[in-house]
Every structure is written in C-alpha cells, then in structure tokens.
Chain A
Amino acid sequence: MITRLLVAIVMAGSLLGVTVSTQQPPPQQQEEFIPIDQLPPQDQLPAAPLLITAYSFVVLALFAYVLSVARRLSVVQRELDRLQSDTTRGRT
C-alpha cells in the first residue's frame, strides 16, 4: 500500500514539476488595481496546467488506491483458496 501511495506521489510530483516549469516567477507587489487583461502577458499565470494537474491527480490517486486494494484482495483470496483446497485434500 505504501508502495502504491509512493508511486502515486511520485507521479503527482512529476506532474507538478511539469506545471512548475511552465510557470513564471510570481509577480511583484502592485501599487494599484489593474484589470487582469491589462496586465502584461508574462504576469498572468496560466490556469489550465494547474487545473489539468489537479484533476489528473485526483483520478490517478483514486485509481491507484482501487488497484492497491484489488491487488491485496487477490493475494489474500489466492492464499485462502490454496489453504482451503489443502485442508479438503488433507481430509480425504
């Protein structure tokens, strides 16, 4: 489980890294109100990479967890079946 979580975190981290590398440095303090479309283009932070990263992270995290539980469940189920068949074989 911890492995799966770590994988998910690493993937999220790389997604974040991609996002961060496309950002510009934060804008300086401004003295007065400037409407956003009058700001120079390099001061406007693109929202789409952040949004995409957020939604992808949600989907990936949920998916990774479901896979993790399913995998652990199948391991235990296999072990149970094996043990049950062993005991029935042992009885006959």
Chain B
Amino acid sequence: MPKWFVPVAVVCGLMFAAAPLLIANAPYESTMGLVQKIFYVHLPSALIFLISAIVCGVASVRFLFGGNPRHDRLAWAAAELVVLFGIITLVTGPLWARKAWGVWWQWDVRLTASLMGWMVGVAYLLLRKYGGPGSDKLAAGLALFGMANVPFIYISVNYWRTIHPTTNVLPTLPVSMGLPVWFTFATFFLLFLLLLRMRVRLEEQRARLDALYLSADA
C-alpha cells in the first residue's frame, strides 16, 4: 500500500467520528424537520456516485485507446464504487422522499437517469464477471456510454419539471448547513480514494498471481 494510505485512513476515520456531531448540530430545515438530515449523506454519496462514473469512463477511454492494464484496473474499481455509492444514494433518497414528498419514488428525469446509470454499473460488473476473455474492452466501451449519462443526470433537474431539488440549492445553502454537508462530502471523498486504492490493489495482486501461474507453466 502506498505511503499516503494509512495517514489518509486515520484522517478519514476521525472525520467519520466527527461528522455525526456536525450533522446533529446543524439547524433543522423549515419544512422537512428531522428527516432532512438524510441530506448530509444523500448528497455526498450522489456526488461520489457521479464522480466514480466519470473516473470509470475516463479510465475506460484511456484503456481502450492506450491498452495499459493499469487503466483497466482503475475502471473496474471505479465501477464497483459506482454500484456501491449508487445504491446508497438510491436507498437514502426514497427514505427521505417518503416523508418529504409523500411517495417512495417518482419517475422524473433525475431519478430515472440515476437508476439507469446505476444499472449500467451493475451491467459492467456482470460483464467483467461472466463475459469471458475480451470482456475488459467490452466493459470499457459500456463505461464510456455510461459516462455520457452523467452530465445528463446532473443538469436534467434544472430543465425538466420535477420535485427533486435543483442544482441551485447547493450554492445557496446557509453556512450552518453548508459546513456539515461539505465536511461529509470530504469524508466520503477520502473514503472513495481509499476504497479505490484497495480495490485497485486487489486487481494488481490478481494480475501478479496470473503472471506467476503463467510463468510457472512455461
């Protein structure tokens, strides 16, 4: 593991311990009350979900046109994190929505596009697991299409009628709410880096194992 791993892990752990205090001290939102506190995990995980999809897409492009297996490993790791943070977003969102909107789910553009983006991540993992030889390039092609979905998810809420909050909410937050949410985002982002590094290391070790097997047979 690289030198930055343990210090970042320690910092991340401390931030995770501090986050609940910040969230509990944040003021209540006027119309939604206690349930709005889900925002402090829903938003950061949604942002990390999108960031992960972009990382996967960019790494896939570099792998497709460059052929370096390092990029392929990064893409696979990022795809797993797309599925992880996607499912966190897609579960915390409806739990909040049940109280705030009165329904568990709405087929508006952002929710539908996010669900589809998550399913592309799942499809990527299924392809890597069951596709057989050559599935690394095919998955890279899939990830590229998935990445094209990301800007659509982000800006869709500004152009289509929906009850999901628009992108205008985040820049106009009061500091008392902005601080906890950006703190939690920083925590999640550090966790994202740590998880990415761990997962890439798994692929590196697998590649080393394969190389050893091949040289033993030779």
Contacts and interface: CB of A to CB of B under 8 A. Distances in A.
A39 interface: no
A57 B102 contact: no
Q: Is the interface of A mostly helix, strand, loop or mixed?
A: helix
B202 A61 contact: no
B212 A61 contact: no
Closest 5 pairs between A and B when the two form their complex, measured CB to CB: A47-B35, A47-B34, A54-B92, A54-B95, A76-B205
A10 interface: no
Interface in A1-44: 1-2, 5, 8-9, 12, 16, 19, 23, 26-27
Contacts of A66: 195, 198
Interface residues of B, number: 36
B191 interface: yes
Using C-beta atoms within 8 Å of the partner chain, give the interface range for chain A. 35 or more
Contacts of A2: 125, 129
Contact of A50 (B84, B95, B212): B95
25 contacts: A2-B125, A2-B129, A16-B91, A23-B98, A27-B102, A45-B98, A48-B34, A50-B98, A50-B99, A51-B34, A51-B35, A54-B38, A55-B38, A55-B41, A58-B41, A58-B88, A58-B92, A70-B198, A72-B202, A77-B205, A80-B208, A83-B213, A83-B216, A87-B212, A87-B216
Given A50-B99, A62-B191, A83-B212, A57 B91 contact: yes
Interface of B: 33-35, 37-38, 41-42, 45, 80, 83-84, 87-88, 91-92, 95-96, 98-99, 102-103, 125, 129, 191, 195, 198-199, 201-202, 205-206, 208-209, 212-213, 216
B125 A1 contact: yes
A9 B212 contact: no
A65 B45 contact: no
A2 B130 CA distance: 12
A51 B209 contact: no
Contacts of A51: 34-35, 37-38, 95
Contacts of A16: 91, 95
A53 B91 CA distance: 9
B216 A65 contact: no
Nearest to B34: A47
B216 A61 contact: no
A80 B209 CA distance: 6
A45 B191 contact: no
A9 B122 CA distance: 14
A47 B209 contact: no
Interface string A52-92: 01110110011001100110110011011001100100000
